[in-house]
Amino acid sequence: MAQTRRPLIAGNWKMNGLTSDGIERTRALIEKMAAKAQPFDLLICPPATLLAPVAAALNGSAVRLGAQDCHAKASGAHTGDISAAMLKDIGCSHVIVGHSERRADHHESDHAVHAKAVAAIEAGLTAIVCVGETEAQRDAGKTAEVVTSQVLGSVPARANHESLVIAYEPVWAIGTGKTPTAAEVQEVHALIRETLAGQIGEAEAAQTRILYGGSVNPKNAKELLGLPDVDGGLVGGASLKADDFWAVADASR
Ligand code: 13P
C-alpha cells in the first residue's frame, strides 16, 4: 500500500525569513525541482508576510505553497487573523494546523484545531494536522494515548486523503536534535493510521500521508522517511537552507 503514497516533504519556515532570503531560498528550490520530474511533492510554508511574494516567485513551479495557520472562520472581525479562503486566494494549497508551537503559545485545543481543519478543507486547502506528545507524556508512557486522542479530537470526519495530511511531531524532538528511534516512529505512525481508519475509513486512511517531524536532517532522513508508515517529513530548521531541505527530500526517493 505504501507505494501508492507519494512522499510529501514540507518545509515549515516558522517565524524566519525576510523577503530577500525567502525569495532566494524559493528560487533555489524552484531550480532544483525543475531539473527533472521528482518522485516526491515539495511544499514550503513561509511566514504569512512572505506568502504573496513567494507565491509570485513560484508561479508555474511544481513547488507547492502552504501557510502555517488559519482562522476557523471564513471572514469577519478577527484582527490579525487570516482565513483559509484568503490563503487559497493567494495561491496556497496547504495549511498547517495545530502545530505544537501554536497549541502551546496560543493555547489551541483539539477542538480549535478541528475547527481550523474543517475551515481549511471547506476552502479547498489540504489541512496538515499536527499531533505529538511532550517529553513528560512520553516519560509517563502516555504517547499512544495522547496521540490517539489528538487525532480523534483534531481530524474532521469528512476528511479524505486529498484534503488531509497528518504530521506526527513529538514535541521533545522539535529543534532539539533528538528523535525517537525508527521503531518508535513506525509504531506511532501505524497507530495513527489505525486510528484514522476508524474516523475516515480504512481505504482513505491507507492513502493518507502521515509525515514525521522533529529534528529531521540530511543525515537521519533516509532512515526515518524510509519507514513503512512514514510518507514524508515536516521539516523545520533544515528547511531554512535549500541544500539541506533538498537533501532531505532526496532521501525520500
Ligand atoms: P525542526 O525540524 O527544527 O525540529 O522542527 C520541526 C517542526 O516543528 C516542523 O514543523
DSSP β-bridge partners for residue 12: 45
Inside any domain, residue 66? yes
pLDDT at 3 over 90: no
Inside any domain, residue 1? no
First to last CA, the chain: 16
Work out the mean pLDDT of the chain and round it to a whole number: 97
CATH number at residue 58: 3.20.20.70
Nearest CA to ligand 1 atom 7: 236
Ligand 1 pocket: which of 216, 224, 225, 240 to mutate (most atoms within 8 A of CB): 216
Is the shortest distance between the CB of 12 and ligand 1 below 6 Å?
yes
Active-site residues, by number, are 99, 169
What was the pLDDT predicted at 4?
81
Confidence of residue 35 (pLDDT cuts 50, 70, 90): very high
pLDDT at 1 over 50: no
- The string of pLDDT tens digits covering residues 68-92 is 999 999 999 999 999 999 999 999 9
CA of 76 to the centre of ligand 1 (A): 31
pLDDT at 250 over 60: yes
pLDDT at 122 over 70: yes
Give the residue among 148, 68, 141 at the shortest CA–CA distance from 105: 68
Distance CA 44, CA 37 (A): 18
Inside any domain, residue 233? yes
Give the residue among 183, 153, 190, 200 at the shortest CA–CA distance from 168: 190
What was the pLDDT predicted at 70?
98
Inside any domain, residue 245? yes
Domain holding 72, by residue range, is 8-250
Distance CA 23, CA 20 (A): 5
Three-state SS string over the chain comes to CHHHCCCEEEEECCCCCCHHHHHHHHHHHHHHHHHCCCCCEEEEECCHHHHHHHHHHHCCCCCEEEECCCECCCCCCCCCCCEHHHHHHHCCCEEEECCHHHHHHCCCCHHHHHHHHHHHHHCCCEEEEEECCCHHHHHCCCHHHHHHHHHHHHCCCCCCCCCEEEEECCHHHCCCCCCCCHHHHHHHHHHHHHHHHHHHCHHHHHHCEEEEECCCCCCCHHHHHCCCCCCEEEECHHHHCHHHHHHHHHCCC
Inside any domain, residue 84? yes
Mean pLDDT of 146-166: 98
Please give the tally of structural domains in the chain: 1
Sorted by sequence, the CB contacts under 8 Å of residue 125 that are 6+ apart come out as 70, 84, 87, 88, 92, 93, 94, 95, 163
Inside any domain, residue 231? yes
Confidence of residue 162 (pLDDT cuts 50, 70, 90): very high
What was the pLDDT predicted at 30?
98
Mean pLDDT of 117-133: 98
Nearest CA to ligand 1 atom 5: 236
CA of 236 to the centre of ligand 1 (A): 3
What was the pLDDT predicted at 241?
98
- The string of pLDDT tens digits covering residues 171-226 is 999 999 999 999 999 999 999 999 999 999 999 999 999 999 999 999 999 999 99
pLDDT at 128 over 50: yes
Inside any domain, residue 2? no
Inside any domain, residue 3? no
Sorted by sequence, the CB contacts under 8 Å of residue 120 that are 6+ apart come out as 70, 84, 87, 95, 97, 126, 127, 163
CA of 75 to the centre of ligand 1 (A): 30
Mean pLDDT of 233-237: 98
Is the shortest distance between the CB of 248 and ligand 1 below 6 Å?
no
What was the pLDDT predicted at 2?
45
CA of 118 to the centre of ligand 1 (A): 24
- The string of pLDDT tens digits covering residues 195-207 is 999 999 999 999 9
